[in-house]
Amino acid sequence: MDKATLHILPLTVGELATRCYVLWLDGRDDCLVIDPGAEAETIRRACENRRIAAILLTHGHFDHIGAARGLMAEDTVLAVHRLDAPLLSDPQANVSWMLGRSVTAPTPTRLLEEGDAVEIAGMTLQVLHTPGHTPGGVCYKLGENLFTGDTMFDRGYGRTDLPGGDEAALIRSLRRLTPLRRPCRIFAGHEG
């Protein structure tokens, strides 16, 4: 990433108050979106006139993928860890059925793995595989900023009682993230 100023715009969207983030650098006409859970038009307005170069998902639950379809363009990258890719097309697995809905997202264009670097819109984000909330949960590290999805909140962590949840795996993920709490600014998937 060059020395251009990084902007991080947090948005709270949907009935579960999911935190979605729009990121861009000064002087660029593109941006990326992390976890567009709902309200595609609200997110699009927040992007202003910037092209959405990528949508990065921290995991595949419906409250983090719900607006992806409404934000996709032909050249938009949709990235998710390979283990959570099946959740995007399966309302049972992404638990949207719990609210009587059938939420799906487009087929991902990029499947992520531990240690991958996502270079998009002038930024490079490091992928940290942090399973537990879901098998393919990830965090994205951008400089001293850590986007944790539902792996870790300011005062807690994600639940493990949904399909694919694994408490022991989540504890290992939290132990891995603990050293990053102090140097990094945490951007969680929900408030609290």
* Three-state SS letters, 154-178: CCEECCCCCCCCCHHHHHHHHHHHH
Domain ranges of the chain: 6-188
What's the predicted TM-score (pTM) here? 0.95
CA distance 132 to 161: 10
Distance of CA 16 to the CA centre of its chain: 15
Task: Write down the residue that tokens 């038009």 correspond to.
Answer: 41
Provide the CATH topology of domain 6-188: Metallo-beta-lactamase; Chain A (3.60.15)
The token pair that represents 101 in the structure block: 């809905």
- pLDDT tens sequence across 56-88: 999 999 999 999 999 999 999 999 999 999 999
Which ranges of the chain have pLDDT less than 50? 1-2
CA distance 141 to 97: 31
Distances (CA, A) of 184 to 23, 49, 113, 129: 16, 29, 21, 17
- What residues pair up with 51 in beta bridges, in sequence order? 30
The pLDDT value given to residue 1: 44
